Structure 1
Amino acid sequence: MGNLETSYITPFLEQRADPWMYKHTDGYYYFTASVPEYDRIEVRRSTTIAGLKEAQPVVAWRKYAEGPLSANIWAPELHFVAGKWYIYFAAARTTETNEGLFDHRMYVLENSSANPLEGEWVEKGQLRTEWESFALDATTFEHRGVWYLVWAQKDLNIPGNSNLYISEMSSPWTLRGKQVMITTPEYDWEIIGFKVNEGAAVLKRGGRIYISFSASATDFNYCMGLLTASEDADLLDPQAWTKSTSPVLTTDESIRLFGPGHNSFTLSEDGTEDIFVFHARNYKEIAGDPLYDPNRHTFVRVLKWHEDGTPDFVGSVLAE
């Protein structure tokens, strides 16, 4: 990946990690992401992708001073389901000994306004799964009339930090039926520093359903993998999903791209091209815990495709 002639890849938005960009039917692009302070959820909008750079963010929600929603507000996503807006996010709790700072759970906010930068965001509570454990990075998608949730969670019986799961939904904040694991960290590139599968994003194209995800520690080892299923498959069958045996996007020192991952997908302004949005740093060495280094920046690229119809993430990043 990369070439010696290219020395630097330019961020789209600085200090915005876990970027989520969504094009709505009202003609606006909406953007949210983790802010460096991990203390609030911001939403901005623009009629163009480029306009999101200068768009004024509006604070949709702020963390509490104490309790379950009081620390490390991570990876918000904005979705429109059945006529209302929803934000999925993860939050931890502050305690006297701080043992809960990384014991995240998933939560949901609802807004019935036509414009989610206006109106009231109502807390719908914790998005509960079959068991209580570290959980984050919820994303939702519709397929053939059924809404699904994909998320990352720790299984106390499986060594590691998080696996990816899928379930049907009975409401935007409630799961129904079986909840199945579709990937667990197993390859060398998924277990550097931490055994992690997280940050799922869904793309439907060419008769296939793709779920990109991120793996390993959040330093320069962070990278992306890809799950693929047929659009005709039972999405709740783990065997329906095929995982890439190697990462689909990794650090490229030649263009100063380090730890790419936690992406989202949207559409171009004319609706003809898929857009690939992700975060990365532009330097390798980090002082202290990578999670408290603020310089994970948002990058935006037109998504390229291989001849076999699969997404070409490397080619997308290298194409200016």
Structure 2
Amino acid sequence: MINQLFSHRYLKVLVLLAGYLVSSSAAQSQTFTNPLLPSGADPWMIYHDGWYYYTHTTGRDLRLWKTRQPVELASAEHRVVWTPPDTGAYAKEIWAPELHFLQNKWYIYVAADDGRNENHRIWVLENPSPDPLQGTWTVKGKLADPGDHWAIDLSVFEHNQQLYAVWSGWEGYQNVSQDIYIARLENPWTMQGDRVRIATPTHDWEKRGSGNGLPVVNEGPQLLRQSPTSQKLFIVFSASGCWTDHYALGYLQADATANLLDPGSWRKHPEPVFRQVPELGIYGPGHNSFFRTPSGQDWILYHANPSAGDGCGRKRAPHAQPFGWRTDGTPDFGSPLSRKPLPVPR
């Protein structure tokens, strides 16, 4: 009888303890703390069929993460899905991959070269598997303008049933200025017609770190719109050298009914819209992407350095935070938030 009573009380304690642990875990899961990973430049995330898929620059291969909760990358399933050949046009300097689901297949757009930066071009990989972490990724080909110019940071979007590519490139064949270009796509791996330049660094805040052989920089363009029926389109881009603490975000704006291939359709906001906050230990925030949760929350995902002078190295890590919209239809990113607990995406 005593043993049965003890066993009953012991079991009750275990049940209460288990309940406490579950409750404690659930409470902890309501918040997260940036950065999401110790390292990861040029972060990209997409939501598809109940899953978030994430990737970033490793420089040597392509890796994908898969998770139900976008801020739990540290514990998410992940794997290397493609390793480049030892030599060749896309063997080295694997930069800024993006994952897109287009025409019922997965595509990765990535910049790569043969070991010489002037040979950086955009390469397209394709995978017909429903799960991009499964199946086989094959190189579909090079996505280049007719002049085959230097190109990095390409992103793809659809507007009015037309695919577009937007990226950072050189006007000529020398590294003087990184500008933002746009072009129509015939299909996910083929450009339709020539490119059009829609932005070049013009403001002082876009030119930090240039001179002495270093270029002025606009890069990492990303399309943003409040909804599919919004009357305003934005291309958010990164400006100034990533080697400076002044790396920041700006945006271009166009009317949804405008000709997107007309440079005059795009208007640049005169000031940066997201910049460093040294007092919070956020330096060089930029090269972002966006994701929207099933409940309709908009989030910005960006990399930032923890200290001054960290530059373009492996200290850049992914950060996430929600953002809103002003009454005039423009995005309000606020400022980079400190490394304190934030509510998880819903």
- TM-score (structure 2 length as normaliser): 0.82
Structure index of larger Rg: 2
Letter of the 1:29 partner, please give it. Y
More helix by share: 2
Q: How does 1:103-252 map to 2 (within 5 A)?
A: 103-156=119-172, 160-193=176-209, 194-205=215-226, 206-218=230-242, 219-252=244-277
Residue of structure 2 in register with 1:45 after alignment: 66
Of 311, 325, 328, the match for 1:308: 328
Contact 1:147 1:168 in 2 (8 A): yes
Contact 2:55 2:63 in 1 (8 A): yes
Letter of the 2:134 partner, please give it. E
Deviation at 1:244, TM superposition (A): 1.0
Residue of structure 2 in register with 1:80 after alignment: 101
Structure 1 pair 199–23 and aligned structure 2 pair: CA distance change class (3 A)? same
For residues 129-162 of structure 1, the C-alpha deviation after alignment (integer angstroms, 9 at most, x for no partner) is 1223321111000111111100111011897231
Number of aligned residues: 299
Structure 1's unaligned 5+ residue stretches are 1-8, 95-99
Contact 1:302 1:316 in 2 (8 A): no
Of 294, 297, 302, the match for 1:273: 297
Deviation at 1:315, TM superposition (A): 4.4
Contact 2:43 2:301 in 1 (8 A): yes
Structure 1 pair 31–260 and aligned structure 2 pair: CA distance change class (3 A)? same
Contact 1:152 1:197 in 2 (8 A): yes
Letter of the 1:262 partner, please give it. H
For residues 223-279 of structure 1, the C-alpha deviation after alignment (integer angstroms, 9 at most, x for no partner) is 111011111111111111111111111111011110011100111242x11111111
Of 39, 44, 51, the match for 1:15: 39
- TM-score (structure 1 length as normaliser): 0.89
Residues 1:70 and 2:91 aligned together: yes
Q: Between the two proteins, what is the percent identity of the paired residues? A: 37
Residue of structure 2 in register with 1:4 after alignment: none
Deviation at 1:13, TM superposition (A): 1.9
Residue of structure 1 in register with 2:17 after alignment: none
Of 289, 299, 315, the match for 1:295: 315
For residues 66-116 of structure 1, the C-alpha deviation after alignment (integer angstroms, 9 at most, x for no partner) is 22112110000000000000000001213xxxxx14531110000000001
Residue of structure 2 in register with 1:89 after alignment: 110
Structure 1 pair 102–282 and aligned structure 2 pair: CA distance change class (3 A)? farther
Q: How does 1:251-266 map to 2 (within 5 A)?
A: 251-266=276-291
Residue of structure 2 in register with 1:27 after alignment: 50
C-alpha separation in 2, matches of 1:184 and 1:30: 31
Contact 1:61 1:121 in 2 (8 A): yes
Deviation at 1:184, TM superposition (A): 0.6
C-alpha separation in 1, matches of 2:306 and 2:118: 25
C-alpha separation in 2, matches of 1:116 and 1:159: 35
Structure 2's unaligned 5+ residue stretches are 1-32, 210-214
Deviation at 1:316, TM superposition (A): 6.5
Contact 1:148 1:167 in 2 (8 A): yes
Residue of structure 2 in register with 1:58 after alignment: 79
Contact 1:111 1:119 in 2 (8 A): yes
- What root-mean-square deviation, in Å, do the aligned CA atoms of Structure 1 and Structure 2 show? 1.8
Contact 1:196 1:215 in 2 (8 A): yes
- Structure 2 SS opposite 1:192: coil
Contact 1:147 1:169 in 2 (8 A): yes
Letter of the 2:40 partner, please give it. R
Letter of the 1:70 partner, please give it. A
- Structure 2 SS opposite 1:254: helix
